[in-house]
Chains A and B, each alone.
Chain A
Amino acid sequence: MIHVYRPDTLRDLLALLAAAEGPRYCLAGGTELVARQQAGLIGDSLWADIGAIPDFRGIRKDGEDLWIGAATTHSEVVESPLLGGFAPALVEACAAIGSPQVRNQGTIGGNVACGSADADAVCALLTLDAEVELAARRERRRLPLADFATGPEITVRRPEEVVLGVRFPARKHLRGAYRRVAPRNGATRAKAAVAVSAVLREGEIEHVRVALGGVGPRVLRALGTEKRLLRDPWSAATLARAMETAVAEARPLDDLRSSADYRRRMCGILLKRALDGIGLPLE
C-alpha cells in the first residue's frame, strides 16, 4: 500500500519524514516515481507530495549563486531568462527531457533525487559546479552534486531528508550546450549525452566543465577531458585528443537501449557537437 500525504509546510513535511518508518519518497511531478511504482520497483511506502509547499519553488539569484527550487519544472527552467543567461547547458538539457507533458510535470528536484545515470538535468548541473541542498527535521546540509549519486539510482539522501533545491555559482559569460543521442527525438531517455559549460576568451577555453550522461553507473564528470581541453591551445588536434579522452572516460554498459560500444563512441561525437554548440570552431 502506498500512503500519500500532502503537507502544507516544510516543517510538517520534515516532521512527517522524520516520524515515518520504512521507505519514504517525496512526490513532485511523479514522472519518475509513478513510473517506478507501476513497474513494481517501489513497493509499500510513504509518499509526501511537496506540491503545496512554497519553499520548493522558484528560480532566483542568491548572493553570488543561482538557486533553483526542487519543485521547479523542466518547462520553467527552459523558459527562465535568468537560467538562459547563467545556465545555458541546463536550459538545453531540460528542453531535451521527455515530451512537453513530461516537461510540464517533471521537476529538477526529481531529476536529481532519482539518481538516474542518464538524468539530463543532472548532466548539465554537473558542468555548473552545482550543489544539492538537503533538509531534514534537525539538520540542513549542502553537498556537491557530484557526490550525491553514488551508483545507479543510489544516492546519499537519508530517508528523512528531502531535496530542497540546487545552487551553483552565477558565472558571467558562461556558454553551455547539451547534446544527446537517443532512440528517437523525443519522449525517451538518452543512450548517451554530453554537457559542456565553458568560458571562452579570445577563442581559447578559459574555464570548462564536461559531464557524460548514460555512460556509467551515474552521470560522470569528465575530469580528464576537461584537463585535455585546458592544457593545449584550441585546435583540431586538441579536439581530437579531448574526444579520445571522453571516450576513454566513459564506462557504459550494454542494455536494451544501446550497446556499450556505441555509447562509448558517441561520447566523442557528442563532445565535438557540444563544443560546436558553444561556438568553438571545429574543422
Chain B
Amino acid sequence: MSDSHHPRPAAPLRVVGTPRVKVDARAKCTGETRFADDLFFPRMACGRLLRSTEAHALIRSIDVSAAVAMEGVYAVLTGKDLPIPFGILPVSEDEHALCPEHVRFVGDPVAAVAARDPWIAEAAVNAIKVDYEPLPVIGSIEEAIARPTPQIHPYADEGNLHRKLALEFGDVARGLAEADLVREDLFFYEGNTHLPIEQHACVALADADGKLTLYSSTQTPHYVHKALAKTLALPPAHIRVIALPNGGGFGGKSDPFNHEIVAAKLALVTRRPVKITLNREEVFYCHRGRHPVLLSVKTGVRRDGAITGMHFRCFLDGGAYGSYGVASTYYTGALQTVTYKVKNYKFDGIRAFTNKPPCGPKRGHGTPQPRCLLEVHLDKIAGELALDPIEMRLRHLVEPNSVTANYLTVGSSGLRACIEKVRDESKWGERRGRLGPGRGLGFAAASYLSGAGLPIYWNNLPHSGVQLKLDRGGGVCVFCGSTDIGQGSDSVLAYVVAEVLGIEPLDIRVVTADTDLTPVDLGSYSSRVTLMTGNAALQAAERARELLTQAVGAKLGLPADRIGLGGRRAFDTANPEIGMSFAEAVQCAEAKFGTIGTVGSYSPPASKAKYRGGGVGPSPAYSYSAMVAEVEVDATTGWVKVPRLWIAHDCGKAINPLLVIGQVEGGVYMGLGEVLMEGSFFRGKLGVHKVPSLLEYKSPTTLETPEMFTYLIEDPDPNGPYGAKEAGQGPLLPVMPAVLNAVYDAVGVRIDETPIHPHRVLEALKRKAEGKEARVGPTALPKLEYAAPVRVPTPWEGGDGRAVAGEPVGHKKKPAEAAR
C-alpha cells in the first residue's frame, strides 16, 4: 500500500481538491433516492415489535393467542423463536432479538408480528398479553454502584458495573509531585441522541431457495450480515445485506438491531417480504447514543502549563446492553494525549449497566465527554497560572511524527495552524475580555481518529476492499462495501477513481454496501471511510491505470510510463495530441489482457500499543480542530446565545472541500445542540424516557445556528489518500468546551455540566453574587474501589508498548459463559 499514497505528485490534481456536487446529489434533491422505507414488494407484510412497558422485569408468561387469531395476522414471534444472542462486540453479545425472559428497559422488544397492514400489525401487538414480574430499577450510575443486585447482566465485571478498567502510563503520582500546580475538576456530561431524520427501516425477503435478502438503513451491512447468520443459524453465503442510503446515521445505525433480525425471521416464516419501519419513539429506544458520563480529572502542571501528570476518571451510564460500550469506555480515556504533551497519564473507566435504552457510538464516540472536561479544565488552569489559554496550549502541542504516553502514533498535525487561524480570525487577543457585559469568547481544541486501527472482531483481513470493472464503452464501475450515510463516501470513491483514470466522476457508477456484490468494508463508523476506502480505491485505480497505460503504450509503440490519462483520453505525455479516447484505451487493454477488473484493499499500519485495551485509540491518522466561540449570556433569563464562531479543521487534504465544510459545520451544529439544549432525560426511578419525540427532544433549529467561519487546514498525512484525514466527527469535539469557556468569559461562572440549562446559569450567577463558588456541576464522585491499573512504561521511560503489570491472566467473561 505504502507506494500508492502519493501517486505521481508532479501531476496537478483535476478532481481531488475541487468543489463538486456529490454523485448522489441530484437524486437526493429530486426525491428519487430510495430509502429503506421507500421499498415496496408484492405481497409485502408489515412487521411490528411489541416493546416492554417495564424498565426491569422478568417475563412470567406471554399470551399471543389473541394476536394469532386475528384476521390478517401472518405470524407472531416471541423470544423462544430467536434464542441465539447477538451484539456488535464479541465480548458483549448480550442482546436477543426478542427478550426470552428478562426485559431490561422500557422499549426492549418482547414479541413481534407480521400482518397485512400496519393497522392490523399494531392491533395485533396490542393484543399480546405479557405478564411481568417487576425487578428493582437501576436508573443511574450511582444506583448501579450502590446496588450490585439484581444484576442486569450476569457477565458484568462486578455487580452492575459492566466494565471496570484502569490504565496507567508512566507514574502519575510522581508526575503530580513534580508539578507547580495540581488542580482537580469534575464534570457531568448528559447523554443525548443522534436524531437522524430517517427512522430506521428494513425489508427482508426470502427467495424460493430459502436465501435471505435484507435491505436496511444501516451504517454497517457487514456486521448486520454476521449477526443475521449467527442469530438465524444460516450460512453467511445464503444471506445478502444491502444497506440503502441512510437519511442520517451519526452512529445510531451502527449496531445490528432487533428489528432487522425479526424482519428476517418473519420473512423466512411467512415467505413474504416483510418491512419494519420504526416510529420515532422506537428510534429513541434503539438509541445507542451519547453515554452520560460523570468525569473527574486531576492534572499537575509546571508554571508554563507543561503537563507533568494527568489522571482521568470516567463513569459511563451505559444503559441496558453492551453495544459498543466496552470500546466507548476505552475511548473516554484514549485521546486525551494526542493534542498536548502529557508526561504521565492514568485512566480509570467504569461503565455501569442501567435500565435505560443502551448507549453506544454517537459522533465522537466516547471522546466528546472527556475532551469537554479537558478543555474546560485547561481553561481553568490557564486562569490560575495567569496565562492566556491559547498561548499556554501552543507551548505544549504534541509534535507531528511522535508517539504519545499511551503509544498512539501521531503522524501529521495541523493543530498549531488550526489554533493560530481561529485565534487570529476571531481577533482573540484584542476582543477577549473587551466585548462588554454578558459577552465572551471561549477556546477549545481537539483531535479525532481517521478510522480505528483494529477491527471490531479480531481478524487479520483488510478493513476495506474495492473492485473496479472497466467497460468497453468507457464506463467504470466501482464496487465497495462502504455505506453512504450522507457524508459523501460514494462520491469520494468516484473522485479518487476519476482522478487516477483521467475521466469524470459522472462516468463512474458506484455500487456500494451490498454484501453479495461488493467486497467487504467494515462500515461507516469511526471516521474510517475516506481514509480506508479512499486508499483501497486508489490502489485498485492505480492497478487499472497500469493495465491501460501498458496496453496503450504497446499500441502506440511507446513505453507505458509515457502514457498519460486525462480529459477522458489516453495520450502520449510528450505529444498530447497523439492518443485515443478512454473507451478505446479500455478496448486495447481488454484485447491485450482479457476482461478488465482490478482490486484494491487497505489495512491500517500496525499499532505500537501492545497492552490490553491498546486496541482502542490507534489510528492511521489524527485530525485536529480548534474553535473560538462567541457567546451572549442573558443574565436575567439565563439564556445562552452563540452568535458566531470560528472553526479550523485539519483534514489533511480536502478531497472535496464543499463536503468537508459540510461535515465540519454539521458537526458544529450537532455540538451546539449537545451543549445548549439536548439531553436524553429519564424519570430515573421508573426508567421512563421523558422526551421520546421530536416535539419534546429539543435540538437547535436554523434560528439558533450561528454565523460560522470555517477554515480548512490542509496538512497532508502520509497514510491518507492524497493526504486526506477525517472530517466527520472531530469538528464536533471543541464546540462544547469552547462554548462553556466563553460563558465563563462572559459572566464569570462555570457551568460544569451539559446541556446548559438556563435556570442553572441563573443559579450559578446567584452563587457568584452570594460570594460562593461561582459554578454549578457535580461536587463528588461515587465511592468506589477502582481496578488495579494495567501499568505501561511510557516511550520516554524506555517502554515498548507492553504492560509490565496489571494485565489479567486469561480472558474476560463473555455473556454466554456467564449465563452458563
Contact = CB atoms under 8 A, between A and B. Distances in A.
A262 B690 contact: no
A153 to B, nearest CB: 15
Interface string B677-704: 1000100000000110101101011111
Given A256-B681, A256-B690, A256-B691, A184 B759 contact: no
Contacts of B182: none
B695 A185 contact: no
A231 to B, nearest CB: 25
A228 B701 CA distance: 38
B636 A184 contact: no
B637 A186 contact: no
B126 to A, nearest CB: 11
A265 to B, nearest CB: 7
Nearest to B702: A186
Contact of A258 (B677, B702, B759): B759
A81 interface: no
B759 A259 contact: yes
B639 interface: yes
B106 to A, nearest CB: 15
A266 B691 CA distance: 23
Given A256-B681, A265-B762, A183 B636 contact: no
Nearest to A256: B690
Contact of A186 (B681, B701, B759): B701
Given A99-B701, A185-B701, A186-B703, A256 B637 contact: no
Contact of A185 (B636, B637, B696, B704): B704
Interface string B192-211: 00000000000000000000
Contacts of B637: 181, 266, 269
Interface residues of A, number: 19
A184 B703 contact: yes
A185 B759 contact: no
A184 B677 contact: yes
Interface string A95-107: 0000100000000
Contacts of A258: 759
Contacts of A99: 701
Contacts of B691: 256
Contacts of A183: 677, 698
A9 interface: no
B751 to A, nearest CB: 15
A199 interface: no
A110 B541 CA distance: 61
Most buried by B among A35, A39, A184, A187: A184
Contacts of B696: 256-257
A187 B704 CA distance: 11
B758 interface: yes
A186 B762 CA distance: 22
B701 A181 contact: no
A181 B698 contact: no
Contact of B701 (A187, A265, A266): A187
Most buried by B among A39, A185, A258: A185
Contact of B759 (A35, A187, A261): A261
A258 B758 CA distance: 9
A258 B702 CA distance: 22
Contacts of B690: 256
A250 to B, nearest CB: 15
* Interface residues of A, dominant DSSP: loop
A138 B728 CA distance: 65
A188 interface: yes
Contacts of A256: 681, 690-691, 696
A238 to B, nearest CB: 19
A181 B640 CA distance: 12
B762 A262 contact: yes
A262 B677 contact: no
B677 A35 contact: no
A35 B704 contact: no
B759 A262 contact: yes
Interface string B749-784: 000000000110010000000000000000000000
Nearest to A35: B695
A236 to B, nearest CB: 15
Nearest to A191: B758
Nearest to B639: A181
Contacts of A181: 637, 639, 758
Interface in A1-59: 35, 39
A70 B700 CA distance: 31
Given A266-B637, A269-B637, A184 B704 contact: yes
Interface in A173-191: 181, 183-188
A99 B702 CA distance: 11
B700 A184 contact: yes
B636 A269 contact: yes
A265 B637 CA distance: 9
A39 B279 CA distance: 12
Nearest to B698: A183
Contacts of A257: 696
A183 B691 CA distance: 13
B134 to A, nearest CB: 22
A211 to B, nearest CB: 19
Contact of A184 (B638, B681, B701, B762): B701
A187 B703 CA distance: 10
Contacts of A261: 759
A35 B759 CA distance: 28
Nearest to A99: B701
A256 B758 CA distance: 14
A92 to B, nearest CB: 16
Nearest to A259: B759
Contacts of B702: 186
Contacts of A188: 698
A256 B679 CA distance: 11
Nearest to A187: B701
Nearest to A265: B762
Nearest to A261: B759
A146 B700 CA distance: 34
Contacts of A39: 693
A144 to B, nearest CB: 31
A262 B637 CA distance: 9
B514 to A, nearest CB: 35
A259 B636 CA distance: 16
A97 to B, nearest CB: 14
Nearest to B673: A184
Given A35-B695, A256-B690, A269-B637, A262 B758 contact: yes
Contacts of B758: 181, 262
Contacts of B677: 183-184
Given A259-B759, A266-B637, A184 B698 contact: yes
Most buried by B among A39, A188, A258, A262: A262
Contacts of A262: 638, 758-759, 762
A259 B681 CA distance: 14
Contacts of A269: 636-637
Nearest to A258: B759
Interface in A157-201: 181, 183-188
Contact of B703 (A185, A259, A266): A185
Interface in B112-130: none
4 nearest A-B residue pairs (beta carbon): A185-B703, A262-B759, A183-B698, A186-B703
Interface of B: 636-639, 677, 681, 690-691, 693, 695-696, 698, 700-704, 758-759, 762
Interface of A: 35, 39, 99, 181, 183-188, 256-259, 261-262, 265-266, 269
15 contacts: A99-B701, A181-B758, A183-B677, A184-B677, A184-B703, A185-B703, A186-B702, A256-B691, A256-B696, A257-B696, A262-B758, A262-B759, A262-B762, A266-B637, A269-B637
Given A184-B703, A262-B759, 18 more contacts: A35-B695, A181-B639, A181-B758, A183-B698, A184-B701, A184-B704, A185-B701, A185-B703, A185-B704, A186-B701, A186-B702, A256-B691, A256-B696, A258-B759, A262-B638, A262-B758, A266-B637, A269-B637
